[in-house]
Structure 1
C-alpha cells in the first residue's frame, strides 16, 4: 500500500506537538483539514491511528510506527535543503584543479589547505600539467580551472586568462650554502657550483637557461634535473647546488627554512601566473568560490612580496 509521505509527516507533527490543533499549527494548516486527513487515512488503512475518546490525544502503536517514518522524511528533506544551500553557495561540491607542479606544490597547496579548513564539504581534485596539456584538458572538460604561468598574447580564443601574480625568478639555494652567507655574490662565485635544472619542457627550464645567459654564464654543469619541488628542495639541502625558482615559491617556503634566494638580479620572465579557464563555460558555485578565494590569497601574497622585495633580491 502506497502512503502519502505528507501524511506520515502529519502524524509525526501531531504527536510531537501534542495534539491535533498544535500539529495543525506546526504544519501551517487548519485543525479541521488535519482532522479530515487523519480520518481519511484511518479509513484507507482500516485501523485507528489515535485511541478513541482519550484526552490528551493518544496515538496507537501503528500511528507511532508511521510517525517515526514521517520524522525520517522530514529529516531527509531538511538535509536536502541544507545540501542545496551549501552547494549553491559554493561551500560543497567538487573543484577539479590543475597547474604547473612548482607553483602548485610551492604556493597553491598551502592555500588549498586553508580553503578546505574553511569549507570542509568541498572536495578538490588536483592534477599537474603545463600550458599545452592544461589547455587541452580545459577544452575537453576534464578540469574546471588551471593555474599556470602564461603570456596573455599566447592565450587561444576559446580560453580566458586572468593574471594574479607577476613572474619573478631568483637564484635559489639551501640556507646553509656557502653563498647564502655572503652579503654580495659575484659571477665567478656562482659559476663554481653545479645546477639543478627544472623538468625539461617546463617554462622554468627555459628561464634557467635564459637567466644564466643573461648574467654571462654559458657553460654550467647540471647535477640534477626533473623531479618535484620536494625533490629539488631535498637535493638543495644535501648539496651545494643552485637552481632558479619563482620568487613566490621561495618566499612561501621561507618559514620552513629550506630554501633562500641569492642577491643576484635576474631579468624577470615575460609571463604572469594566472587562472586559465574555458571561455563561456559557466562556473559551478564551488569553482567560483575557490577561484575567488585564491584571488584574495594571491593579492595578500603579492603585497607581502612587494613589501619584502624592497630589499635587493628581485628589484629592477
Structure 2
C-alpha cells in the first residue's frame, strides 16, 4: 500500500506537537482539515491511528511507526532545502579551475585553501595550462574559470577577461646567494651565475629572455629548465642559480625564507594576471563566489605588492 508522504508528516507533527490543534498549527493548516485527513487515512488503512476516547491523544502502535517515517521525510525535506540554499549561495558545489603552473602553485593554491576553510563543501578540480589551451577548455566546457597572465588584446572575443594584477617580474635567488649578501653589485656579476629557465613555451620563459636582454646579458648558462614551482624553489635553495619569477609569487613565498629578489629593474611584461571565463555559459554559484573571493583577495595583494615593491624592488 502506498501512503501519501504528506499524511505521514501530518502524523509526525501531531505527535511531536502533542495534539491535533498543535500539529495543525505547526503545519500551518486548520484543525478540521487535519482531523479529516486522519479520519480518511484510518478508513483507508482499516486501523485506528489514535486510541478512542483518550485525552490527550494517545497514538497507536501503527501510528507511531508511520509517524517515524513522516519524521524522516520531514528531515529529508529540510536537508534538501538546506542543500539548495547552500548550492544557490555558492557555499557548495564544484569549481573547475585551471591556470599557469607557476601562478597556480605560488599564489592561487593558498587562496583555494583559505576559501575552503570558509566553505568546505565546495570541491575544486584544478588543472594547468596556458592561454591557448585554457581558451579551448573554456570553449569546450571542461573548465569553469581560468587564471593566467594575459595581454588584454589577446583575449578571444567569446571570453571575458578580468585583470587582477599587472605583470611584475624580478630576478629571484636564495637568501644565501652571494649577490643577495652584497650591498652593491654590477651586471657583470650577475652574468657569472647559472640560470633556472621556466618551462619552454611558457610566457615566463619569454620573460626570462627579454629580462636578460634588458640588462645586457646575451650569453648565459641554463642549469635547470622546466619543472614545478616546488622544484624551482628547491634548486634555488640548494644552489647559486638565478631565475626570473613574477614578484607576486616571490611575495607569497616570503614566509618560507627560501627565495628573495635582487634589486635589479626589469622591463615588465605587457600582461596582467587575471580571470578568464566564457561569456555565454552560465557560471555555477560556487564558481561565482570563488571568482568574487579572488577579486577581493587580489585587490589586497596588489596593494601590498605596490607598497613593498616600489620601495624594495622596482621604481614605477
Corresponding residue number in structure 1 for 2:33: 33
- Contact 1:169–1:314 under 8 Å retained in 2: no
Shift of 1:280: 2.2
Tell me which moved more, 17-26 or 294-303: 17-26
Normalising by the residue count of structure 1, what TM-score does the alignment of the two structures yield? 0.99
Shift of 1:92: 0.9
The root-mean-square deviation of aligned C-alpha atoms, in Å, is 0.8
Question: Partner of 1:146: helix, strand, or coil?
Answer: strand
Corresponding residue number in structure 1 for 2:105: 105
Give a deviation string over 1:134-191, Cα, whole Å, max 9, x none.
0100010000000000101111111111111000000000111111111223111111
In the alignment, is residue 270 of structure 1 matched against residue 245 of structure 2?
no
1:202-281 alignment, distance < 5 Å: 202-281=202-281
Shift of 1:113: 0.6
1:26-105 alignment, distance < 5 Å: 26-105=26-105
Number of residue equivalences: 316
Task: Please give the alpha-carbon distance, in whole angstroms, between the structure 2 residues aligned to 1:164 and 1:310.
Answer: 18
Question: Partner of 2:275: helix, strand, or coil?
Answer: strand
Question: Partner of 2:180: helix, strand, or coil?
Answer: helix
Corresponding residue number in structure 2 for 1:131: 131
Question: Partner of 1:178: helix, strand, or coil?
Answer: coil
Runs of 4+ in 1 over 3 A off after TM superposition: none
- Contact 1:185–1:262 under 8 Å retained in 2: no
Normalising by the residue count of structure 2, what TM-score does the alignment of the two structures yield? 0.99
Task: Please give the alpha-carbon distance, in whole angstroms, between the structure 1 residues aligned to 2:314 and 2:251.
Answer: 12
Question: Partner of 2:47: helix, strand, or coil?
Answer: coil
Corresponding residue number in structure 2 for 1:166: 166
Question: Partner of 1:216: helix, strand, or coil?
Answer: coil
Question: Partner of 1:123: helix, strand, or coil?
Answer: strand
In the alignment, is residue 298 of structure 1 matched against residue 293 of structure 2?
no
Corresponding residue number in structure 2 for 1:310: 310
Question: Partner of 2:280: helix, strand, or coil?
Answer: coil
Shift of 1:50: 0.6
In the alignment, is residue 179 of structure 1 matched against residue 179 of structure 2?
yes
Corresponding residue number in structure 2 for 1:286: 286
Task: Please give the alpha-carbon distance, in whole angstroms, between the structure 2 residues aligned to 1:312 and 1:90.
Answer: 39
Question: Partner of 2:201: helix, strand, or coil?
Answer: coil
The runs of 5 or more residues in structure 1 that have no matched partner are: none
- Contact 1:8–1:66 under 8 Å retained in 2: yes
Task: Please give the alpha-carbon distance, in whole angstroms, between the structure 2 residues aligned to 1:210 and 1:223.
Answer: 18
Tell me which moved more, 180-189 or 290-299: 180-189
Task: Please give the alpha-carbon distance, in whole angstroms, between the structure 2 residues aligned to 1:31 and 1:313.
Answer: 76
Question: Partner of 1:311: helix, strand, or coil?
Answer: helix
Task: Please give the alpha-carbon distance, in whole angstroms, between the structure 2 residues aligned to 1:50 and 1:140.
Answer: 60
